[in-house]
Chain A
């Protein structure tokens, strides 16, 4: 996949450059504040939505604590997580340059671990590792995937001719990597960071939900459980501002790197990680090897890493437990009267999948509709894209306490959360794909007398289809992660609740079993979506066509 620098755009004389865009951006921000105020007015008395100024006033009161105590704690976790992620990832990416099979294998392992929902992993990590280490691990687990994929793409995208120049000049493979591949990968890595840094923040915040005395996540949860609306909203505002500040900083750095490509384009490519082309057998073999290695790693947790047998169960133990139809621990019940694992797990899974599906569908349909709206008015898109990219860097999933506070402990708050998690990445990916449509193809339709609607219908939609399909696939693990998190923190239903309840009762066999099964379900859905997507693209001829 090549990444092309955006050409310097010449604007025709009579049209003014950028006159309306900042105005439109300001208008949108003002509209959001007004809507917020209106919502506060309408819900006055329920004490869930404060007026914007009350939230800001509370934030100013809290600011010293937030800045001196909580922000350093959260940022430290996020940055260490980022560093740990980078230390593991970059050597792996370099290693995968050695062979395609190795690359496939590394990616398969990465995808598999990436599909494991946070809630399946966090309770175990939190008890098995000491506090700070556990939180850093959770942050690193959120970070490594975008870092790995962007680095890989950057290294692979090196100009073949430039490599040949080094080779012909008698350079070694090391020269190739140092002089061509690594510098060439910098823009893609920066684009990867634009996803990885918010991800580190998400990891740190959610890890803090699991109990710690300092950190923004802990502060937010405390405010929500105190039903302190002004403080909850004020803290959410603060986290949003923090995310936007890091987004602005990274964008600034990316612009400094003069050979940097269009960030939106690259990050869409980074999001679309799965699109690695390889023969079916290579991928199949790599998958089998990846599963084997992950099982071995799981098995070795106890014997090699000396983790406690109380917290860490082996594959064998989990299999035995599932086969014997063991019971889950429930308070006040003697074990034999407790419900069996399957009787708890299966309804929970149904609940979780329903929760995830609702928001997934709404978010996807919404993203498709809004991107169509944007095609018909490119000026609006140009004006709002920076805002959208900014919003994507806001850790929406970590603002689950706000949704709980406002909407209540019901399925609606889960749906809203999952909708938002699905909506923004899908929209941004589809918009980026629409921007990559070759101009000449649209010109042919225009010159033939076609309207812009005809251009959309005949050309643009098809070019955007692969990105759309890919976004659906990427959204699956995210939707399940969002649903389970909301189930745990807000509704007390589904697998999110079952997993954390098992952790509370120290029922580690049930915890491991349910976590592993849920991860398997997510992986199967992810693979199935990939298969369905590639069949669809093959059917429309988009598959081999877009490679030329």
Chain B
């Protein structure tokens, strides 16, 4: 159904803007093989190539077990590829990590229960050993809409509020890359849409190279410049779409023909991925 089916992997397609190879995220020919027993192995990722421009918003979608989280964890230097390479702005992610230039948020907010909203946001600064700029932290609190909750503990916050704190914490180092692993995956649809809007606003204010992993097609189209579709067994890239919709995107866009068509197209790609197994 799509002219892209013939494309073996998602690389820069002819016709799109030329990719600056020294900037943004560059995942090239990555394999990841896990050992499951004495003689058995499991191939989580097979020959995955993904490129994204500096300052752009890229989303990975795909069925469970397609290795999209593993790919994101490689960008965070939490996993290493069995073969292939991962570079961010031309350097290995370890190097960015050492320079305290990565930001990450997970589905589980991973807030420390004994710290307040403010001190949770400050955690990466403590790790980096940099001076804590109270005004900057306060700006972040305002940015994620948590004024008045500065000294609340995580137990006193709702799930959505906790994720806001996690996003603020991911931004506090002013990272070169923002890595979001299903940050809204555990939230209800209403909260999720609201946080999508907020994330878009935050991202527009500080255009940071962002990699998002999600299950939601709606979220992927709404937020991204580019959506990468992955298939499972083994995890691989089966296609990609540029999202040309103008920003700022508003909630009403979700019902626009262009939006719906794109979403349907992505859904069809995912369906063929399943059929291919």
Which residues of chain A in 87-145 are interfacial with respect to chain B, using CB atoms and an 8 Å cutoff?
none
Which residues of chain A in 423-453 are interfacial with respect to chain B, using CB atoms and an 8 Å cutoff?
438, 440-441, 443-450
Residues of B contacting A454 in the complex (Cβ-Cβ under 8 angstroms): 127
Q: Are A444 and B124 in contact (CB under 8 A)?
A: yes
Q: Are B113 and A541 in contact (CB under 8 A)?
A: yes
The residue in chain A whose Cβ has the minimal distance to the Cβ of B93 is A447
Q: Are B104 and A542 in contact (CB under 8 A)?
A: no
Partner-contacting stretch, out of A10-18, A268-276, A402-410: A10-18
Mark contacts of B85-127 with chain A using CB atoms, 8 A cut-off: 1 yes-contact digit, 0 otherwise.
Answer: 0000000000001111111101010111111100000011011
Q: Are A449 and B82 in contact (CB under 8 A)?
A: no
Do A12 and B35 form a contact, CB below 8 Å, given A438-B110, A440-B108, A449-B99?
yes
A540 interface residue (CB < 8 Å to B)? yes
Residues of B contacting A440 in the complex (Cβ-Cβ under 8 angstroms): 106, 108, 110
Min Cβ gap B174→A in Å is 12
Q: Are B79 and A447 in contact (CB under 8 A)?
A: no
The residue in chain B whose Cβ has the minimal distance to the Cβ of A455 is B127
A331 interface residue (CB < 8 Å to B)? no
Residues of B contacting A15 in the complex (Cβ-Cβ under 8 angstroms): 35
Which residues of chain A in 518-545 are interfacial with respect to chain B, using CB atoms and an 8 Å cutoff?
540-542, 544-545
Give 17 A-B pairs besides A447-B102, A448-B97 with Cβ atoms closer than 8 angstroms: A11-B35, A12-B80, A444-B123, A447-B103, A448-B173, A449-B97, A449-B98, A449-B102, A449-B124, A450-B127, A541-B113, A541-B115, A542-B113, A544-B113, A545-B112, A547-B155, A548-B113
Q: Are A545 and B155 in contact (CB under 8 A)?
A: yes
- Seen from chain B, the residues whose Cβ lies within 8 Å of a Cβ on chain A are 33-36, 38, 41-42, 76-80, 82, 97-104, 106, 108, 110-116, 123-124, 126-128, 153-155, 169, 173, 179
**Of B101, B103, B112, which one neighbours A441 at CB under 8 angstroms?**
B112
A249 interface residue (CB < 8 Å to B)? no
Do A447 and B153 form a contact, CB below 8 Å, given A12-B34, A458-B123, A458-B127?
no
A459 interface residue (CB < 8 Å to B)? yes
A462 interface residue (CB < 8 Å to B)? yes
Residues of A contacting B179 in the complex (Cβ-Cβ under 8 angstroms): 447
Give Cα distance in the complex from A100 to B42, angstroms.
Answer: 48
A546 interface residue (CB < 8 Å to B)? yes
**Of B34, B76, B111, B155, which one neighbours A443 at CB under 8 angstroms?**
B76
Min Cβ gap A462→B in Å is 6
Q: Are A447 and B104 in contact (CB under 8 A)?
A: yes
**Of A13, A14, A17, A448, which one neighbours B127 at CB under 8 angstroms?**
A448
Do A462 and B114 form a contact, CB below 8 Å, given A13-B41, A547-B155?
yes
Min Cβ gap B92→A in Å is 13
Give Cα distance in the complex from A17 to B37, angstroms.
Answer: 8
Min Cβ gap A479→B in Å is 29
Give Cα distance in the complex from A447 to B113, angstroms.
Answer: 19
Give Cα distance in the complex from A444 to B127, angstroms.
Answer: 10
Which residues of chain A in 1-25 are interfacial with respect to chain B, using CB atoms and an 8 Å cutoff?
8, 10-15, 17
**Of A10, A441, A446, A548, which one neighbours B36 at CB under 8 angstroms?**
A10
The residue in chain B whose Cβ has the minimal distance to the Cβ of A12 is B34
The residue in chain A whose Cβ has the minimal distance to the Cβ of B75 is A447
Min Cβ gap B95→A in Å is 10
The residue in chain A whose Cβ has the minimal distance to the Cβ of B111 is A441
Give Cα distance in the complex from A542 to B113, angstroms.
Answer: 6
Give Cα distance in the complex from A544 to B152, angstroms.
Answer: 12
Do A545 and B154 form a contact, CB below 8 Å, given A13-B35, A462-B112?
yes
Query: Interface residue count for A (Cβ, 8 Å)?
Result: 31
Min Cβ gap A537→B in Å is 9
**Of A13, A448, A540, which one neighbours B123 at CB under 8 angstroms?**
A448
Give Cα distance in the complex from A10 to B104, angstroms.
Answer: 23
Residues of B contacting A544 in the complex (Cβ-Cβ under 8 angstroms): 113, 153, 155
Give Cα distance in the complex from A541 to B110, angstroms.
Answer: 16
* Contacts A/B (CB < 8 Å), 17 sampled: A10-B36, A14-B82, A440-B106, A445-B127, A446-B78, A447-B102, A448-B97, A448-B128, A449-B124, A458-B126, A462-B112, A462-B114, A541-B116, A542-B113, A542-B114, A544-B153, A548-B154
Residues of A contacting B169 in the complex (Cβ-Cβ under 8 angstroms): 444
Give Cα distance in the complex from A17 to B41, angstroms.
Answer: 12
Q: Are B124 and A10 in contact (CB under 8 A)?
A: no
Residues of A contacting B115 in the complex (Cβ-Cβ under 8 angstroms): 541
**Of A11, A12, A443, which one neighbours B110 at CB under 8 angstroms?**
A443
Closest 10 CB pairs of A and B: A545-B113, A440-B110, A448-B124, A541-B114, A450-B127, A10-B34, A449-B100, A447-B104, A448-B127, A441-B110
Give Cα distance in the complex from A462 to B153, angstroms.
Answer: 15
Residues of A contacting B154 in the complex (Cβ-Cβ under 8 angstroms): 545, 548
Residues of A contacting B99 in the complex (Cβ-Cβ under 8 angstroms): 449
Q: Are A447 and B97 in contact (CB under 8 A)?
A: yes
Give Cα distance in the complex from A12 to B179, angstroms.
Answer: 22
Min Cβ gap A82→B in Å is 37
Give Cα distance in the complex from A17 to B78, angstroms.
Answer: 19
The residue in chain A whose Cβ has the minimal distance to the Cβ of B82 is A13
Min Cβ gap B182→A in Å is 11
The residue in chain B whose Cβ has the minimal distance to the Cβ of A459 is B112
Residues of B contacting A447 in the complex (Cβ-Cβ under 8 angstroms): 76-78, 97, 102-104, 179
Q: Are A545 and B153 in contact (CB under 8 A)?
A: yes
Residues of A contacting B80 in the complex (Cβ-Cβ under 8 angstroms): 12
Do A540 and B34 form a contact, CB below 8 Å, given A13-B41, A449-B100, A548-B155?
no
Min Cβ gap B42→A in Å is 7
The residue in chain A whose Cβ has the minimal distance to the Cβ of B105 is A444
Residues of B contacting A443 in the complex (Cβ-Cβ under 8 angstroms): 76, 78, 104, 106, 110
Residues of B contacting A546 in the complex (Cβ-Cβ under 8 angstroms): 113
Residues of B contacting A14 in the complex (Cβ-Cβ under 8 angstroms): 82
Min Cβ gap A162→B in Å is 22
Min Cβ gap A128→B in Å is 50
Q: Are B155 and A448 in contact (CB under 8 A)?
A: no
Residues of A contacting B127 in the complex (Cβ-Cβ under 8 angstroms): 445, 448-450, 454, 458
Give Cα distance in the complex from A344 to B132, angstroms.
Answer: 61
Residues of B contacting A17 in the complex (Cβ-Cβ under 8 angstroms): 35, 38
Give Cα distance in the complex from A12 to B78, angstroms.
Answer: 12
The residue in chain A whose Cβ has the minimal distance to the Cβ of B38 is A17
Give Cα distance in the complex from A17 to B100, angstroms.
Answer: 32
Give Cα distance in the complex from A357 to B156, angstroms.
Answer: 39
The residue in chain B whose Cβ has the minimal distance to the Cβ of A444 is B110
Give Cα distance in the complex from A448 to B175, angstroms.
Answer: 9
**Of B35, B114, B153, which one neighbours A10 at CB under 8 angstroms?**
B35
Min Cβ gap A14→B in Å is 7
Residues of A contacting B153 in the complex (Cβ-Cβ under 8 angstroms): 541, 544-545
Residues of A contacting B106 in the complex (Cβ-Cβ under 8 angstroms): 440, 443-444
Give Cα distance in the complex from A232 to B184, angstroms.
Answer: 64
Give Cα distance in the complex from A308 to B138, angstroms.
Answer: 75
Give Cα distance in the complex from A450 to B38, angstroms.
Answer: 33
Residues of A contacting B173 in the complex (Cβ-Cβ under 8 angstroms): 448
**Of A13, A445, A450, A545, which one neighbours B34 at CB under 8 angstroms?**
A13
**Of A8, A444, A541, A548, which one neighbours B104 at CB under 8 angstroms?**
A444
Which residues of chain A in 371-386 are interfacial with respect to chain B, using CB atoms and an 8 Å cutoff?
none
